[in-house]
């Protein structure tokens, strides 16, 4: 039986229609004000510039505004911290996105943690992660939160499943594991240096590829009927999992591209709308 395709692009488009209505309603009762997402791009990395442009376009599609801040690669940590602090204090800004990665001489963690919790719509602060992990209100990291929304849309039951997350980054693998745990899955966290990784993956009812290496997770490691979520994207249009051989083996899978990626951007926009509603509503 063919795998159910978890179409993130389609789900994101449906969500944008709903978000457009919410933004319009907010404008009607707040004298035309809309949620505003501030994006900060440091340096001239073309991939990062493309991602920031895509996020700005997504804002405009739902009627929101975006504030694009571009800083030179020579920007120092203190300069960036001051820029973020100004946005924290700006009542017209409801969400702040610092595009990852920043140049290596900048203390990225310090800059992430300067973002005010109520404007941390990308879910990158230590405080936000801690609150999310404790089941307290916070905006979740955009990619894992987008994955959870995608699984919920297709009514995939997670309770009691053995989920294996391959990857441990602070903005993907670790929060993904915490969100799945909160959904009553049993979670194993692995990474590129895990011994006998193939044997652990074979136990997974749900596998999340978040290791950042093209097709690192092989199709023959994955058991029949597993739910397969690929959060990677690499040149050539491949992800972290060897998906081509899984169309008849998995019970459900995310395509690459068109699966997790659109949900990441849509979640960022959704959380900015929520922040705007709290501030303006």
Provide the 8-state DSSP code for 137: S
Locate the DSSP E strands across 109-213: 162-166, 186-190, 206-209
Q: What whole-number distance in Å separates Cα of residue 22 and Cα of residue 30? A: 12
How far apart CA 219 and CA 238 sit, in angstroms, is: 13
Distance CA 118, CA 74 (A): 29
Closest CA to 112 of 102, 98, 127: 98
Burial of 270 (C-beta count, 10 Å sphere; 0-12/13-18/19+): buried
- Give the residue numbers annotated as catalytic, written as ranges: 55, 99, 122
Distance CA(176)–CA(163), nearest Å, equals 10
Tokens read off for 44: 């001239």
Q: Are strands 186-190 and 206-209 parallel, antiparallel or unpaired?
A: unpaired
The tokens 């609150």 sit on which residue? Answer: 131
């Amino acid at each position: 039986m063919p795998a159910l395709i978890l179409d993130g692009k389609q789900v994101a488009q449906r969500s944008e229609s709903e978000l457009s209505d919410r933004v319009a309603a907010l404008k009607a009762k707040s004298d035309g004000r809309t949620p505003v997402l501030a994006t900060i791009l440091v340096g001239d990395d073309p991939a990062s510039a493309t991602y920031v442009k895509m996020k700005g376009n997504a804002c405009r599609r739902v009627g929101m505004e975006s504030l694009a801040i571009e800083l030179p690669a020579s920007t120092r940590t203190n300069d960036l911290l001051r820029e973020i602090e100004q946005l924290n204090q700006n009542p017209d800004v409801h969400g702040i996105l610092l595009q990852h990665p920043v140049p290596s001489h900048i203390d990225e963690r310090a800059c992430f943690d300067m973002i005010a919790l109520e404007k941390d719509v990308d879910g990158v602060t230590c405080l936000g992660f801690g609150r999310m992990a404790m089941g307290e209100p916070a905006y979740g990291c955009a990619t894992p939160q987008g994955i959870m929304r995608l699984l919920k849309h297709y009514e995939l039951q997670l309770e009691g499943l053995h989920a294996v997350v391959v990857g441990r980054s602070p903005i993907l693998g670790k929060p993904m594991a915490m969100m799945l745990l909160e959904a009553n899955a049993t979670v194993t966290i692995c990474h590129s240096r895990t011994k006998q990784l193939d044997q652990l993956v074979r136990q997974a009812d749900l596998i999340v590829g978040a290791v950042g290496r093209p097709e690192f997770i092989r199709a023959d490691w994955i058991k029949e009927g597993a739910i397969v979520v690929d959060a990677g994207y690499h040149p050539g249009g491949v992800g972290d999992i060897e998906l081509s051989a899984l169309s008849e083996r998995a019970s459900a899978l995310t395509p690459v591209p068109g699966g997790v990626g659109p949900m990441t951007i849509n979640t960022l926009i959704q959380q900015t709308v929520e922040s705007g509603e709290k501030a303006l509503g």
